[in-house]
Amino acid sequence: MSELSVKHLLGIKYLKETDIQLIFETADHFKEVINRSIKKVPSLRDITIANIFFENSTRTKLSFELAEKRLSADVLNFSASQSSVKKGETLIDTVNNILSMKVDMVVMRHPNPGAGIFLSKHVNAAIVNAGDGAHEHPTQALLDSYSIREKLGDVAGKNVVIVGDILHSRVALSNIFALKLQGANVKVCGPKTLLPKYVESLGVGVETNLRKAFEWCDVANMLRIQNERLDISYFPTTREYTQQFGINKKLLDSLDKEIVIMHPGPINRGVEITSDVADSKQSIILNQVENGVAIRMAVIYLLASKIK
Ligand code: CP
């Protein structure tokens, strides 16, 4: 397959397994490019991309911007907090005004689930979902699977546990879709109050004992508590959460195998993960960030080839 089956990247749910393989093969090429002394290719000299962020971001925003610049695209950065959205302008009006400046692609982070899907039906540009509320974060899941593939050789057949606030996590849902599509075995682990009731219908196992989850897995993806999305208390105290669902070096070293530790960031050190684990040789957290640039280059390049 030489092109994606989709015109937009709205969620992993809409991808085929062959799309993921194509993105990974393309990212392999771009990873080689960004490790050269000249880290740039002229591929998208005729493409303009707007990054519109209605929510805070460090990794995703910078990684998309760098990916676009490495591909030689023209880049517009839009932050909702400094824009006319504050004067009441709607999402569609905002984006259509940006598009009238001859923009070809929109990368959007938005607090509302489905915002990218909505936009794709109302504007004439390729849309990339950079995280929509508690729904999906497709490029994060792609870079996570790519990092597992890089570390362990393959994703198929690997046991992956996703730990923490599954209920409010777009990273969890996109990872579940991506990992299942590639043939991994997936479990989620966390307080029952933070595990969605429907999660088993996604083909995922549930484990509420962290040690048992770690004894089962090859890879543990530790998530932070999404405090900005918690409307009520889901566990008694942060201290109690950490005792039951946080990873520390003593627990990691007590396992009879070396598991791979992942985290999408931002990390709350001392809550879901201690510093000695986050910075240990078993952690691939910064490799995930590095791979994010190559994965986003691949996604943008492949989507742009469909609008040329
Ligand atoms: N992983 C991730 O989405 O991080 P940011 O919120 O900093 O973009």
**Model pLDDT, residue 230:** 77
Q: Taking the alpha carbons of 188, 58, 15, 17 in that order, is the dihedral positive or negative?
A: negative
Ligand 1 centroid distance, CA of 256 (Å):
32
CA distances from 6 to 10, 14, 68 (A): 9, 8, 19
Annotated binding residues for L-aspartate, as ranges? 87, 170, 224
Determine the angle formed by the axes of helices 138-152 and 17-34, rounding to 10 degrees: 70
Could you report the per-residue pLDDT of 197-230, keeping only the tens digit for each?
A: 999 999 999 999 999 999 999 999 999 987 777 7
Report which of residues 80 and 133 the model is more confident about.
133
Tokens describing residue 200: 């088993």
What sections of 185-307 are H helices per DSSP? 210-216, 238-245, 249-253, 275-278, 285-307
Banded pLDDT at 232 (limits 50, 70, 90): confident
266: preceding bond cis by omega (within 30 degrees) = yes
Q: Please check the confidence at residue 269 and state whether its pLDDT lies above 80.
A: yes
Model confidence over 20-58: pLDDT tens digits? 999 999 999 999 999 999 999 999 999 999 999 999 999
Q: Backbone phi, then psi, for 262, in 5-degree steps? A: -125, 160
140 lines ligand 1 (CB under 6 A): yes
- Look at ligand 1, atom 6, and give the residue with the nearest C-alpha: 57
Instruction: Report yes or no: 99 and 125 within 8 Å, Cβ to Cβ.
Output: yes
The helix (run of H) or strand (run of E) holding residue 187 is: strand 185-189
Mean pLDDT over residues 134-138, rounded? 97
DSSP state for residue 124 in the 8-state scheme: S
CATH placement of domain 138-286:
3.40.50.1370
- 92-112 pLDDT tens trace: 999 999 999 999 999 999 999
Instruction: Give dist(CA 73, CA 264) in Å, integer.
Output: 26
Q: Is the dihedral of CA 291, 292, 295, 297 positive or negative?
A: negative
Band of residue 1 on the pLDDT scale cut at 50, 70, 90: low
Coil, helix or strand for 77?
A: strand
Q: What pLDDT score does 308 carry?
A: 61
How many Å apart are CA 43 and CA 66, to the nearest integer?
14
pTM (2 d.p.) = 0.96
Q: Which of 60, 63, 66, 268 to mutate to test the pocket of ligand 1 (most atoms within 8 A of CB)?
A: 60
Ligand 1 binding pocket mutation candidate from 51, 57, 267 (most atoms within 8 A of CB): 57
pLDDT at 227: 77
Structure tokens at 212: 């048992």
Does position 160 have pLDDT exceeding 70, yes or no? yes
CA terminus-to-terminus distance, the chain: 18
How remote is the CA of residue 280 from the centroid of ligand 1, in Å? 21
* Residue 131 alpha carbon, nearest atom of ligand 1: 3
Q: How confident is the model at residue 231 (pLDDT cuts 50, 70, 90)?
A: confident
Q: What integer is the mean pLDDT of 9-30?
A: 98
The CA distance from 255 to 194, in Å, is 25
Question: Where does the chain hold its CATH 3.40.50.1370 domain(s)?
Answer: 12-136+289-304, 138-286
DSSP string spanning 15-70?
--HHHHHHHHHHHHHHHHHHTSSS----TTTT-EEEEEESS--SHHHHHHHHHHHH
CB-based contact 24:294 (threshold 8 Å): no
Ligand 1 atom closest to 60 (CA): 8
C-alpha 1 – ligand 1 centre gap (Å): 30
Radius of gyration of the chain (CA): 19
CATH of domain 12-136+289-304: 3.40.50.1370
Q: How far is CA 88 from CA 84, 121, 262, in A?
A: 7, 21, 39
Distance CA 90, CA 159 (A): 43
Q: What is the pLDDT, as a whole number, of residue 229? A: 75
Answer yes or no: is the C-beta of 267 below 6 A from any ligand 1 atom: no
Give the largest Cα separation in the chain, rounded: 59
